[in-house]
Structure 1
Amino acid sequence: MKYLLLVSHGGFAEGLKTSLAMFVGEKSERVLAIGLKDGESSTNFGKRFKESLSKFSTDDTFVVLGDIIGGSPLTTVCNLLAESGRADSLILGGMNLPLAINVVLQMDDLPAAKLAEIAITEGRNALKRMELTASDDDDEDEEI
């Protein structure tokens, strides 16, 4: 089975999982979240992740979304996945809600390369600048 693994500093991964469940329903049961706690060592974080990983079959695969590429949580998870024979995991950094939704909804249907391509495009498209404009509606009400 394929799982989505959210990895972050602090509670970001857990919060994203909660929000993700609002959009993907039952598929959220295949989403795991782990965050490096404030003041926690990378070693202890690794032990917690390794314990979680032991609950899965060696046939299970992972798509990993991390908050920061090169950060200790994602680096630790990558190292432990490789040590456990799961070096074929798809790993992406810069997670956000639209990216996670797309991954969960498509991870069973697409090969890793295509999923990565679509996920990166969707993640980039989620970042846009919004312009706020002053409303003239208030001025019109004063003329009445």
Structure 2
Amino acid sequence: MKQLIVMGHGGYAQGIKANLGMLIGEPENMHFLDLGIGDDFSTFQNRFDELVLRFEEEEFFFACDLPGASPFRVAAMHCAMHPTRCVVVAGLNAMAFIELGMNSEGPLYDLARKAVDTTKDSVVLLDVAALTSESDRTST
């Protein structure tokens, strides 16, 4: 089974956990690891190491809040040592996490590509001015 590890700053991972808990329930293969305000890099690294050791021979999908930041770097270092068993992405949104929580089957890279595509496709800008203008034209 693939292990999905959500990592980020402050309460990012716990926020994703709460969001998923409300919408689809917490997937059993999804884990949440935050770098807290008082944490240093080595403390976070140790918590990360403890988590991945529990699933030593499994595949890992690391979803981080920001590219290049500490959680991302920790995941990237792990993936450099295990390139065939893990993938790292950053910046996913709730729609991507919902999809991952409901279905994490298939090759890791395909899951990562789909999660990135879902994030891109689900971002919406509501143009209220255009909607208002359209309704003004149709109501006259």
Q: What's 2:76 paired with?
A: 78
How far did residue 103 of structure 1 move? 1.8
Q: Tell me what 1:23 maps to.
A: 23
- Based on CA coordinates, which of the two structures has the bigger radius of gyration? 1
Alignment equivalent of 1:102, drawn from 84, 99, 103: 99
C-alpha distance in 2 between matches for 1:52 and 1:14: 16
Identity percentage over the alignment? Answer: 26
SS of equivalent to 2:45: helix
Inter-CA distance 13–119: structure 2 relative to 1 (3 Å threshold) = same
Q: What RMSD over aligned residues (CA atoms) do the two structures have, in Å?
A: 2.1
Q: 3-state DSSP class of the match of 2:71?
A: helix
1:37-76 to structure 2, matched below 5 A, reads 37-56=36-55, 58-76=56-74
Cα offset, 1:112, TM superposition: 2.2
- TM-score norm. by structure 1 comes to 0.79
* C-alpha separation in 2, matches of 1:11 and 1:87: 30
| 92, 102, 106: which one aligns with 2:89 | 92
Contact 2:79 / 2:87 at 8 angstroms: preserved in 1? Answer: no
Q: What is the number of equivalent residue pairs in this alignment?
A: 131
Q: 2:107 aligns with which of 76, 96, 111?
A: 111
Partners of 1:71 and 1:65 lie apart in 2 by 12
Q: Deviations over 1:11-55 (max 9, x none)?
A: 1111101211233335x2211010111132111110111122222
> Where does 1:129-140 land on structure 2 (aligned, <5 Å)?
129-133=125-129
TM-aligned CA deviation for residue 100 of structure 1? 0.8
Structure 1 moving runs of 4+ over 4 Å:
none
**Could you state the TM-score of these two structures normalised by the residue count of structure 2?**
0.81
Report Cα offsets for 1:58-79 as digits up to 9, x if no partner.
3221111111110011111332
Unaligned runs of 5+ in 1: 136-144
